[in-house]
Amino acid sequence: AQSVTQLDSHVSVSEGTPVLLRCNYSSSYSPSLFWYVQHPNKGLQLLLKYTSAATLVKGINGFEAEFKKSETSFHLTKPSAHMSDAAEYFCVVRGGGADGLTFGKGTHLIIQP
Amino acid sequence: EPEVTQTPSHQVTQMGQEVILRCVPISNHLYFYWYRQILGQKVEFLVSFYNNEISEKSEIFDDQFSVERPDGSNFTLKIRSTKLEDSAMYFCASRNKGLYNEQFFGPGTRLTVL
């Protein structure tokens, strides 16, 4: 069975400063890992995905994530936050032969002007 | 850019009534999914559908739920006799062939059961 733990329910940063959203996963098999973003009243949009190729994954809007098997982590980072980054972020795992995705609880990112 | 659409955006129903939530997946996608998110909780997988049959379902997806692809474009989730605890946001998703292809999500239908 898979599980995902997002370590922070809320993260607040100032515009122009780095963003770090933390995620740890548990999976019996080599997982695929994703970060999705949800803006208010919008659907879930894929930011980036890891599927056993390069461990450092670059996504849209300047986000990237590093897969660290030894730490079972897949933290999301961005060097410089923008006001438009304010949203809910979900770390997601797929593995163990299952096709359905397992979501973390989400991290609400707040950007201070 | 193609996208998954869902209707209605908000559905209000009385307990015990049947509801049908509708989704139009991206046209060349082959795998279809339903998820739900109860307010304040995680997004949870309900069911996946491929080649006109259910390929995987969670414990949540019991006999009161059913899915159907009635034509070449729509994908529906039916809840036969709604309960208060079915109130949630329901997301439809689809993906193309290829194990590592991501799922594309619709904007969701908010179901409120009174």
Range A6-21 average pLDDT: 97
pLDDT value for A91: 97
| pLDDT tier for residue A16 given thresholds of 50, 70 and 90 | very high
Q: Are B42 and A46 a contacting pair at CB < 8 A?
A: no
- Write phi, then psi, for A40 (nearest 5 degrees): -50, 130
Q: Which residue has the higher pLDDT, A5 or B73?
A: A5
User: Is the CA virtual torsion B91, A25, A47, A41 positive or negative?
Assistant: positive
Distances (CA, A) of A42 to A36, B72, B86: 12, 25, 21
Whole-angstrom distance, CA of residue A106 vs CA of residue B74: 29
Query: Does the pLDDT of residue A106 top 80, yes or no?
Result: yes
Whole-angstrom distance, CA of residue B23 vs CA of residue B30: 14
pLDDT in tens, B26-64: 998 999 999 999 998 889 999 999 999 999 999 999 999
- Look up residue A100 and give its DSSP letter: S
- Interface size between A and B, measured as CB pairs under 8 A: 51
A25 touches chain B (CB under 8 A): no
pLDDT value for A29: 75
Query: Does the pLDDT of residue A40 top 90, yes or no?
Result: no
Query: Does the pLDDT of residue A37 top 80, yes or no?
Result: yes
List the single best residue of B24, B42, B89 to mutate versus A (max A Cβ within 10 A).
B42
pLDDT in tens, A57-104: 999 999 999 999 899 999 999 999 999 999 999 999 987 777 899 999
Residues on chain B bordering chain A, Cβ-to-Cβ distance under 8 angstroms = 3-4, 31, 33, 35, 41-45, 47-48, 55-56, 58, 91, 93, 100, 102-108
For residue B50, what is the nearest residue in chain A, using CA coordinates? A99
pLDDT in tens, A54-63: 889 999 999 9
List all residues of chain A from 35 to 94 with a beta carbon under 8 Å from chain B: 36, 41-46, 49, 51, 90
| pLDDT tier for residue A31 given thresholds of 50, 70 and 90 | confident
Whole-angstrom distance, CA of residue B103 vs CA of residue B52: 18
| pLDDT tier for residue A52 given thresholds of 50, 70 and 90 | confident
pLDDT in tens, B87-103: 999 999 999 988 678 89
